[in-house]
Amino acid sequence: MPYKQGQRVEYRNQEGQQAQGTIQAAEGSGQQTRYTVKNEKNMQQEQVPESKIERQL
């Protein structure tokens, strides 16, 4: 499912923990899409592949 800039999502971070954040940017298309997500807890930006995004909030 393609997500858009500004959407809040729940995802798995690099440590495999569940996290929530806001999409800042998207690169690529289809299953290869990678999103820059700003984590709501630590306010850091992370690169997240589409397969790690679990749902829109």
The pLDDT value given to residue 2: 87
Q: Give the pTM.
A: 0.88
The total domain count for the chain is 1
CA 3 to chain centre: 9
Give 1's pLDDT tier (boundaries 50, 70, 90): confident
- Determine, yes or no, domain membership for 32: yes
Q: What whole-number distance in Å separates Cα of residue 34 and Cα of residue 30?
A: 9
Q: Give the domain range for residue 44.
A: 8-48
| Chain segment 3-57, per-residue pLDDT in tens | 999 999 999 998 999 999 999 999 998 888 999 999 999 999 999 999 999 999 9
> 54 lies in a domain?
no
